[in-house]
Structure 1
């Protein structure tokens, strides 16, 4: 009989492409992953990996079994979810990953809601950009909060994952409180701000790409005077009068409140925020109640982020 843990390792290897990446994703040592995959080869009496001194890749048989492993693991999880769905009380542990601004914005409301379920253990971890879907697929996390600046995520997500739309998060103009354009009576004119000391995240980050598109639509992006990692860092620097920025509205939650916030003209660049879970797991009471808590948290007014920019 095939060992489910080893099938999960094979499936993860197929996604990650290396033993080291598989080990890092699942919390094993590379040696342990290699040994378990070798054991799976003995179980199947089939060469699943083509190994060299420096690398390993799936054989044709390994690729076929990895595809079957995805189906098998999904079916097992679906069966477990059906059985646990009969339970009245959510129990067990739910692990969620979230991009940093969502973690800060939604965590308090989620925690308040889940406190009503004392037999449920909840763990929230911040994720790096672009890793949330893979963490849910691999089983590292049960739920991920992810953002999408492209508008294509819902169409491109694999069928093994279910996406729940939470909210749209637009860019807003963030200014020092004494800036002339912080006055609500003053129309927002991005062209008039071209020579201001703009601050943004480094090139390549999704929020920076949205920022560049925003200014390109206003006559071309000028050189960015300051680049900093971390949206909350940028917010703090604007409050100190170092420069101005265009940030996602969620970044204002839990950050420095000493800024002026203005709506951008037209339909500004924005991201869509989703909760993602494995399709086979959404009926588990623990996952279902957590998803409901997340959705409710995302609909609540979020202090500074939902104060009405002018």
Structure 2
């Protein structure tokens, strides 16, 4: 019997060729086979608990997936104090997503997956997500300050969500190295994986703002900053020995992307998004 692609990818070994199998990195490569990546992630979850849910699609439900992670995780899953979003907030999210996919139509499938949004009432908190709480995006009131901030915040966390799908198939770093790295924004205590996630978000936002610039919108300051931010992230993990084969493949692909966009000397964040 021919070996199934699910078996090739989820056998447990590192997969340096995984990006080629799924067609690249979500948000960066239009060749990404999103149904395949979702199927593989669902299959990994089903193999963890084969009898948990009747259909493979059930494993892509955020609450179902979170239950599996709580039971199967070897580390404590964090508890985030949060509540349901108001109807008004959910409506604003839907409008923001519509604006995003109108700007980058190739992203429509990336924003069409089940995602659970939760509200965090904590000062200036803007947003977060966590690999151990799959397909869940935590938003603070600060995320809704302006339409532009909300759109970039959703791109930020949705990019993390899709990179998490890849990480479920094969981790992006070896073990749990100490968080000693610093992002270009000055945020400290990051692991190589964390820096890689930041780089992927920045590249995704560069795609979005590049499309806006092409449409004649005045976004050059933010775009220039993110281009520099992306380059800074990649420079931070250029020689990292903690990245797995997949982590290195993602870093190298982002590096190729970074070389193709115009670089700027702009390093100051003009609007404090990151």
More helix by share: 2
Q: Please, what TM-score do these two structures have when normalized by structure 2? A: 0.26
- Between 1 and 2, higher relative CO (CA 8 Å, sep ≥ 6) is seen in 1
> Looking at CA atoms only, which structure, 1 or 2, has the larger radius of gyration?
1
